[in-house]
Amino acid sequence: MSTTSSCTLPWLLLNIFLFLPLIPSSHIPPIVPTCRDKCGNLTIKYPFGSDFGCGHPDFARYIKCTSGELRFSSGTGAYTVSSIDYTTSTLVLTDLFMSTCSSMQNSGSFRLDRASPFTLSSQDVFILLGCSRTSPVFDPNEDLCDTGSGLHLCRGLYSCEGVTGIGLEPNGPISSCCVYQPIVDFGSGYGLDLPKLQCSSYASMYGFGGDETDPMKWQFGISLEYNDSYYTDACKDCEASGGFCGFADFRQSFSCICRGGGNSTTNCYGRGYAWSGTLEHNIHTKISFGGILLFWVLLLL
């Protein structure tokens, strides 16, 4: 017995220490979100957030970072956020089903919730393509299409090779094209319902890339402005301490999420130590627990 125990005791001790981390500790810190300042290539700043619990809840409802891509969801689908300009509070969405000069295809609809913090930018131009002759956009009493200077945009797009994608010949008649006007007036409640408008596709542009005569240079995408009055002093204080502004619990109340882990209702000053403190506490618990276990093992031997 004594010969075997001299050999098993170090073995037992080794086992105890190897398996100790598996014993659940009495103090489990709550799962606090971690926030990152990038999503793929995009810099993420407040009110946007990279992960759930980061940023402002009004934005988190619409914008998520999935597999390194920032996605904007509305009632009509999910769109890729291709850029954010924090100085002008604007972002650009790309709709994969939208038409551009190089590629035209049947598109879905586009809608913005009225309650969202986003509105269409004033420079956005929506062009409806392949509309039926009976489309309500051509109602002479409604005046929904730009029939004046805007028509050069239709001519430009209908000169693109891409129009074959919606069953048209390049440089054909532009009677099925409409530079849609009422967009900006609708503000954030705006909706582009293609089945209702009887159009096959749409293109949205937020700039001409310096050359209004070359549709290959046009900047296709939907530019949105966002409400920038979400920045509070509490958030500025949190960011100054190296934290990310976020939200927690069912009330979605303000939470400052610290880089080293942990969160606070105010800021992250001193939080780096708080976290390692919890860790030390856990190790102590484990060691004293291991001591008691060892005592019983020795007693049994």
Stretch that binds ligand NAG, among 72-80, 122-130, 137-145, 224-232 (CB under 6 A): 224-232
Q: Is 60 helix (H, G, I), strand (E, B) or coil?
A: helix
Rank residues 104 and 248 by Cβ distance to ligand NAG and give the closer one: 248
Please tell me the distance from the alpha carbon of residue 81 to that of residue 83, in angstroms, as a whole number. 6
Rank residues 16 and 32 by Cβ distance to ligand NAG and give the closer one: 32
Q: 202 to each of 121, 126, 158, 174, how far by Cα in Å?
A: 17, 7, 12, 14
Residues 117, 230: contact at Cβ < 8 Å?
yes
**What type of residue is 183?**
I
Please tell me the distance from the alpha carbon of residue 254 to that of residue 159, in angstroms, as a whole number. 52
Single out the residue of 249, 273, 292, 296 in contact with ligand NAG (rule: CB under 6 A).
249
Q: Which residues pair with 78 in a beta bridge?
A: 73
Joined tokens for residue 94: 């790309």
Closest distance between ligand NAG and the C-beta of residue 10, in Å?
42
Count interface residues toward ligand NAG (CB under 6 A).
15
Query: What is the DSSP-derived secondary structure letter of residue 265?
Result: S
Closest distance between ligand NAG and the C-beta of residue 273, in Å?
17
Please tell me the distance from the alpha carbon of residue 229 to that of residue 24, in angstroms, as a whole number. 44
Rank residues 261 and 290 by Cβ distance to ligand NAG and give the closer one: 261
Contact status: 229 vs ligand NAG (CB under 6 A): yes
Contact status: 184 vs ligand NAG (CB under 6 A): no
Rank residues 202 and 247 by Cβ distance to ligand NAG and give the closer one: 247
Query: What is the DSSP-derived secondary structure letter of residue 58?
Result: H
| Beta pairing class for 63-66 and 42-43 | unpaired
Single out the residue of 122, 132, 175, 265 in contact with ligand NAG (rule: CB under 6 A).
265
Q: Using CB atoms, what's the residue nearest to ligand NAG? A: 255
> Would you give the binding string for ligand NAG spanning residues 21-50, x where CB under 6 A is met?
---------xxx-------xx---------
Stretch that binds ligand NAG, among 12-20, 72-80, 259-267, 278-286 (CB under 6 A): 259-267
Closest distance between ligand NAG and the C-beta of residue 236, in Å?
15
Across 36-64, b (16+ Cβ under 10 Å) vs e yields eeebeebebbbbbbbbebbbbbbbbebbb
* Structure-token match 């398996």, residue found: 19
Single out the residue of 263, 267, 268, 271 in contact with ligand NAG (rule: CB under 6 A).
263
Single out the residue of 99, 135, 204, 255 in contact with ligand NAG (rule: CB under 6 A).
255
Contact status: 264 vs ligand NAG (CB under 6 A): yes
